[in-house]
Amino acid sequence: MVNDRQGQGSAPQRAPDAVDSWRRVHFISPLVRGWIALVAILYFVGREWLEGLFDPGTRGRGPLPEGVGLLLAAAVLLGIVLLVAAAFFVSWYFTRYQVTDEHVRVHSGVLFRQQRQARLDRVQAIDVIQPLLARIFGLAELKFEVADAGESAVRLAFLKLDDATRLRATILARAAGVETDPEHPENIVEAPEREVVALKPGRVIGAAVLSGSTIVLVVGATSVFVLGVVLDAPFVATSFIPLAIGVGGAYWSALSTGYNFRAATSPDGIRMRYGLLDTRSQTVPPGRVQALGIVQSPLWRTKGWYRVSVNVAGYGLAASNDGQARATLLPVGTREEVLQILALVLPDPGTERPVELFSAGMTGRDDVEGFRTTPRRARWLAPLAWRRNGFAVTSTALLMRSGVLWRQLVVVPHERTQSLSIEQGPLDRRFRVSSLQFQTTPGPVTPRVLQADSGTAWELFHGQAARAAEARRRSAPEQWMKPVVEPTRSSEPGETMPEAPRYVPDQTREGAPHELR
């Protein structure tokens, strides 16, 4: 293969890479993927046979002798299982993947063939997932999102855990633009990391108990009890069962996604590991976070805890529990831990007082530390929140805060602002205020400025558009570890041209400690 990247000329031909060749996933992957289907078949087909086996009254009533019928039923059941296993085997045999310098390709399907190809320089996040059965066999699923993948993220299920980790390191290195040894391109090791946050199980359990699910459970239980006693209707108690199931599911989701949570920084980006039965290791490369949201619920305020969520291209709206977990950068953390996570997402806060500014965004009110809030004349539109709703602008990001009971702070880097709109309803016109909506990639974070002074809102509208364009022009390349050579003009005879500037990753991307100070 010849490397002829623009700006570098033709590189020497390198030896074929073992990863570049077409390969298959692990041969027991069909069992890990389809064990539920096999169990279902065994249950539905063999249930009646088992019932008849243990019921003396039904033995020998069939048209066939007892022993022959037993053998025939076992043969039919075995044939169905073998047929399903053969289908899984054929699906496995026709599924192949290939990793090159620029793309990941996955071919699958027997009758209906499907070919997927994703550009490495568009990788937004990459996960190593281990369901419980896969952990037993030492396997893992590799899943990565690209900017335009949506629900069609590329999946490789399942690989040996070591192979999945090595392949993730290879994909991230090539996505970053790292030049490998042409003689030994397979010698790519996982980048070192520095742990930033590690959650203890006690805090995760406490956060689940003090969550909004507990409020719903208490209110629901009280209502059912009061209605049952007052109306003397015992059947009302049955309505509590769906509520208990829903709250129990919420508790389990919080525990399973927050248990053993760890966040670290590395040259590859932000790494997160978590899981109770199913474990997941996520990697979000530098510059892929489109928006960040910090939320504090009323009960968490007594402990000083916060939740940090992000919008990342490919993660979607996070409607499911799995999507919500993937979009969570910190399930529950203190103010200091939140500031450390912010330092990973926004290495340059763009202000000389970052701690004071972000603290005012998380807990503050009124016009402090540069925040501009709803004018006093419009306080009747939000009697409790008008002093809290506001925004602040730094040289690198826009901060938007809102909420009184559920406090929220949204941070959007300037270069991640895709579009913005300004809105003004009849009451807004009466009080001369406007709201702004900022569009990024879909996700749980909704960036918006509520009920700002109309003149200030139009100033922010035009100013943010200019700041976003300038920030995108100065932003780092998609391949964050690849040197960039800017075009230079032709020199006159005898004139010495300066060396073209190169992009050098900052200390955070090299794994060195970095905090907001």
Tokens matching residue 50 = 């088992």
Is residue 367 scored above 80 in pLDDT?
Answer: yes
Partnered with residue 292 across adjacent β-strands are 310, 411
Axis crossing angle, helix 240-258 with helix 212-230, rounded to the nearest 10:
170
Greatest mean pLDDT among 91-100, 189-198, 415-424 lies in 415-424
Mean pLDDT of the chain, nearest integer = 80
pLDDT in tens, 243-252: 888 888 889 8
* pLDDT in the model for residue 503: 31
Greatest mean pLDDT among 13-22, 238-247, 453-462 lies in 453-462
* pLDDT in the model for residue 412: 95
Is the model more confident about 43 or about 255?
255
* pLDDT in the model for residue 439: 87
Describe the strand order of the beta sheet including 114-119 as a list of residue ranges: 96-99, 103-108, 114-119
pLDDT in tens, 68-114: 556 776 777 777 778 877 887 888 888 889 888 888 888 888 888 88
Tokens matching residue 331 = 């399930």
- The DSSP 8-state label assigned to residue 16 in this structure reads P
Is the model more confident about 308 or about 368?
308
Tokens matching residue 140 = 């893992």
Is residue 426 scored above 60 in pLDDT?
Answer: yes
What mean pLDDT is predicted for residues 479-501?
47
Quote the percentage of the chain above a pLDDT of 90.
38
Those residues whose C-beta lies under 8 Å from the C-beta of residue 64, and which sit 6 or more positions away, are: 72
- Could you tell me if 263 and 283 are in contact, meaning their C-beta atoms sit under 8 angstroms apart? no
- What residue segments make up the domains of the chain, in order of their start? 29-93, 200-259, 289-483
Alpha-carbon distance of 29 to 124, in angstroms, equals 26
What mean pLDDT is predicted for residues 448-453?
95
Question: How many residues are given for the chain?
Answer: 517
Quote the percentage of the chain above a pLDDT of 70.
75
Is the model more confident about 76 or about 358?
358
The string over 317-349, giving b where at least 16 C-beta atoms fall within 10 Å of a residue's C-beta and e elsewhere, is ebeeeeebbbbbbbbbbebebbbbbbbbbbbeb
Alpha-carbon distance of 13 to 1, in angstroms, equals 6
Is residue 501 scored above 60 in pLDDT?
Answer: no
Q: How confident is the model at residue 179 (pLDDT cuts 50, 70, 90)?
A: confident
Tokens 């619920």 map to which residue? 297
* pLDDT in the model for residue 67: 55
**DSSP-assigned states of every residue in 321-348:** HHHHHHTEEEEEE-HHHHHHHHHHH-S-
Alpha-carbon distance of 136 to 370, in angstroms, equals 53
- Could you tell me if 368 and 391 are in contact, meaning their C-beta atoms sit under 8 angstroms apart? no
